[in-house]
Amino acid sequence: MYHKTTEDLLAFLDASPTCFHAIRNMADRLTEAGFTELSENRKWSVEPGGSYFVTRNSSALIAFTIPACSVKGFRIMASHSDSPTFKIKENPEISTSDHYIRLNTERYGGMIYSSWLDRPLSAAGRIIVKNADGSLAEKLVNIEKDLLMIPNLAIHMNRQVNEGYQYNPQKDLLPIYSDINGKGTFMKTIADAAGVEVSDILGHDLFLYNRQKGTVWGASGEYISSGRLDDLQCAFSSLQGFLQGRKEKYAAVHCVFDNEEVGSGTRQGAASTFLKDTLLRICENLNMSREDYFAAIADSFLISADNAHAAHPAHADKADPVNRPYINEGIVIKFSGNQKYCTDGMSAAIFRDLCMRAQVPVQIFTNRSDIAGGSTLGNISTGQIPLNSIDIGLPQLAMHSAYETAGMKDTLYLIKATAELFE
């Protein structure tokens, strides 16, 4: 079972080089499962027993089901679709020394720079085109070949590289696209892949991605490595558990935000009103009063699922002395005294009980008391909606690398726990 789940996860990761592709792939799976797509700019018709989904910016998605009985509350699993990468700027080509054509990029999120060097890369994302009738439309694009490379400077010219080198994103991290003969062809390459003319493209959101496919490795095949495990491993697990759950007792909500890696402060991020708007529209369509809405929120539970740091074999001193998760040993509950994570005693108890019913192991992560940690979706989302909530994740190594490592077993653990949430 672990192997089949891992195969499905790696296929999903390979088909999702950007947040736009991840959301499209999820939407396709929901449609195949009989879900009805709704649009934010049209009136909704939501009925008891129905299954629906809605997207925002083509990079965030909320799917939900309505029980046949009355809605007394919501059960929500939230994750995010984006990963640290490099965004391709407007006017992307830069001619260097009259011999190289490089792409002008800027960092998106906090990545490990060195992990992007000397790897086969390509470009993917979305373009906005003008149709014959004058309307604007989105098209996904993925250049499915080894197209780009960011070369290191030879050690003979950079003797300090192994002593801690400070990369300059504008100088050191621009990928080579072509020699001078390819000047002026990058946007044509994008247009050809999308089946349009360059003149049709009025805007784009294009990103670099690592072309190395995910792999299973280790003495017993116990580890998996791939790009974008943070946080598509959780997003994939959430969707699978959501589809497998009975969804009989509560309104079930699978929520995937965008822009977590840059602070979530966008209309499609966790700090937006996307989730709040959706829950309000559900209640209004079911003829629930404002008072009913507040009562339902008070009886709801949110799980924020974003990958967690596993203890590192070479840097055990970076982990808390006793709360140190390990790969393949279960779902990680995240605690933070300063509420960078939203977990408290009650939400932890609810989740532990849920995992006991699902027969899934759990473990604990806290930062060392002298090391500041990052934040994630939970406390940001609850700034919009006062939900009882918990921050969890799957243990991984090399977070924010272009090629991250996680465990064979942990994906299935989260799927089982999610299915139990959506009982």
CATH of 85-210 given 1.20.1740.10, 3.40.50.720, 2.30.250.10, 3.40.710.10:
2.30.250.10
* Residue of 385, 390, 391, 394 whose CA lies nearest to 416: 394
- Whose structure tokens read 């849920």? 354
Domain map (residue ranges) of the chain: 2-83+227-421, 85-210
Percent of the chain scored above 70 by pLDDT? 99
Tens of pLDDT, residue by residue over 317-329, are: 999 999 999 999 9
Predicted confidence (pLDDT) per residue in 113-133, tens digit: 999 999 999 999 999 998 888
Determine contact, residues 394/376, Cβ cutoff 8 Å: no
Neighbours of 170 (CB within 10 A): 12
Band (pLDDT 50/70/90 cuts) for residue 212 is very high
Token pair, residue 375, equals 């934040």
Return d(Cα 261, Cα 388) in angstroms, integer.
23
Q: How confident is the model at residue 80 (pLDDT cuts 50, 70, 90)?
A: very high
Assessment of whether the complete model's pTM goes beyond 0.75: yes
pLDDT value of position 112: 97
Distance CA 349, CA 351 (A): 5
* pLDDT (tens digit per residue) in 241-256: 999 999 998 999 999 9
The Cα 54–Cα 50 span in angstroms is 13
Copy the structure tokens of residue 255: 């929520």
Mean pLDDT, residues 9-27: 98
CATH number for the domain whose boundaries are 2-83+227-421: 3.40.630.10
